[in-house]
Amino acid sequence: MLNEKALRYIDWEKLSHAYNSAYDVPFQIRALTSKDKELREKALSKLYSNIIHQGTRYEATSYTIPFFYQLLSSTDTPDKHEIVELLSYLAVGYPDEYVANGLNAFVFRQDSQEHEVKCYNAVQNGVCILVTFLGSEDIQLRIATIYILSLFPENSAKTLPLLAVHLSKASNAVEIVNLIFTIGMLADADVLLDLNLHSFLSHHSEMVRVLTAFALARDFISQDIVDILANAIPLLEELAKQVYYKLWYIFQSVENYIDVILSRVKTPNKDLIILELQQKL
């Protein structure tokens, strides 16, 4: 439930967002609790426009984040997956930029402006709330949660074991793909080996096999991984329709797919991998 006293205490008129004064922000936050779906959608659209316009975070942005976590902590809040997705943007601007190689939190803080770091830290402070949604009955909320956890490598000691448990129980292919993606972003090669992620290379779902190969494309790439990645090239358009929309970035074009893969690869046989991928064009 929203802490109305805290919401009113903040002098929103003196804070700025994309369109000057942030006086309207508390009204939009409150509207996310409405039973009117159209009203909720309009409020969410306004928030994207005001506090995260084109990936930019503003003075007012970090002040909103505790209130989104209050909404997430309430059993009465509808469309919680939408709020989690919003938080992923508030944390880093454009999450798509970290799909290829993950996020280095130290570098991110070094390269970001002060208010951007405040936003990242504020979202990170709620990871303990986010992980509770891994057990939600709402698959949209579970998937949004799995994805946002990939942006917080500093929390991986706590989140990776939880993600691994859920991967061992998951049956939905889209959920499995997102679990593998996030685990691949957070874990080093030894941890991936311990988690037996390689077993998913023989999964019945093409999408799961490809994302597993993508997650395992690191320092050393075995031939079976190269084969899966190369054989997926004629299927990119179909794969793009199946994955959670933020992972669509990987499959949006052949050129992008190859670039993303090669940006992950740090191996002596890189030229051979390039050749095999090009043969599928």
pLDDT at 268: 61
pLDDT at 248: 83
Please choose, from the candidates 152, 150, 271, 277, the residue with its C-alpha nearest in 3D space to the C-alpha of residue 215: 150
- Asked if residue 35 is part of any domain, the answer here is no
Residue 84 buriedness (CB in 10 A; 0-12 / 13-18 / 19+): buried
Find the DSSP H helices in the chain: 4-9, 25-31, 37-51, 61-73, 80-92, 105-111, 114-124, 127-130, 139-149, 156-169, 173-186, 189-194, 206-216, 223-231, 236-242, 248-251, 254-264, 270-278
Assigned domain for 26 exists = no
User: What pLDDT is recorded for position 107?
Assistant: 96
Separation between Cα atoms, residue 160 and residue 139, nearest integer Å: 19
Does the model's pTM come out above 0.75? yes
Q: Which two tokens stand for residue 222?
A: 């075995």
- Residue 32 within a domain: no
CA angle at residue 241 from 254 to 68, to 5 degrees? 110
Number of compact structural domains in the chain: 1
pLDDT at residue 96, rounded to an integer? 85
pLDDT of residue 41: 97
Q: Is residue 161 part of a domain?
A: yes
31: left (phi over 0), alpha (psi -120 to 50) or beta: alpha
Closest by CA to 154, choosing from 196, 178, 185, is: 185
pLDDT of 189: 73
Which pLDDT does position 3 carry in this prediction?
93
251 within a domain of the structure (yes/no):
yes
- Say if 213 falls within a structural domain: yes
CATH number of the domain within which 258 lies: 1.25.10
> pLDDT value at position 100?
84
| Residue 47 is assigned to a structural domain of this protein | no
Element (H, E) at 220: none
Residue 270 pLDDT: 62
Mean pLDDT, each 10-residue run in order, the chain (281 residues): 93 95 97 97 97 95 98 97 97 90 94 96 98 97 96 96 95 93 89 86 94 86 87 88 79 85 72 65 56
Q: Per the domain annotation, does 12 fall within a domain?
A: no
Please give the residue range of the domain that contains residue 175. 79-278
